[in-house]
């Protein structure tokens, strides 16, 4: 299941989540974003209970777009323990995204990991 997150629900749904949250920043007009939807659904089943999968419409949620400095779509970030780790800013395969998620969950750090 992929959760829809808004500026108003971010704190409760993501920032205060007891499990890591993967967020895809998207827009209704973004073709590559639409192609990511089945990948997110599939991975949400694989990571059931381990990672919460979320989507944010950047046109409707400008505060989150600014907070995460979204410059390209789709933009995918993992949020865990008050830190945000950018994963991709492009269309990626399911295998590649799963590999990156597992790397970060297993303690692999990216130099761009920053506090929320």
Annotated catalytic sites, by residue? 30, 33
Separation between Cα atoms, residue 22 and residue 48, nearest integer Å: 12
What is the spatial distance between Cα 50 and Cα 48, in angstroms, rounded to a whole number?
A: 6
Write the DSSP string, 47-75.
Answer: TTTT-EEEEEETTT-HHHHHHTT--SSSE
């Amino acid at each position: 299941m992929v959760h829809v997150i808004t500026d108003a629900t971010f704190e409760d749904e993501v920032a205060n989540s007891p499990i890591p949250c993967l967020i895809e920043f998207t827009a209704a007009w973004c073709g590559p974003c639409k192609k990511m939807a089945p990948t997110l659904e599939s991975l949400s089943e694989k990571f059931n209970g381990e990672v919460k999968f979320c989507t944010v419409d950047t046109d409707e949620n400008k505060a989150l777009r600014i907070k995460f400095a979204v410059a390209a779509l789709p933009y995918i970030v993992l949020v865990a323990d008050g830190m945000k780790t950018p994963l991709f800013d492009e269309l990626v395969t399911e295998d590649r995204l799963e590999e990156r998620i597992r790397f970060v969950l297993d303690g692999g750090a990216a130099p761009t990991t920053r506090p929320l």
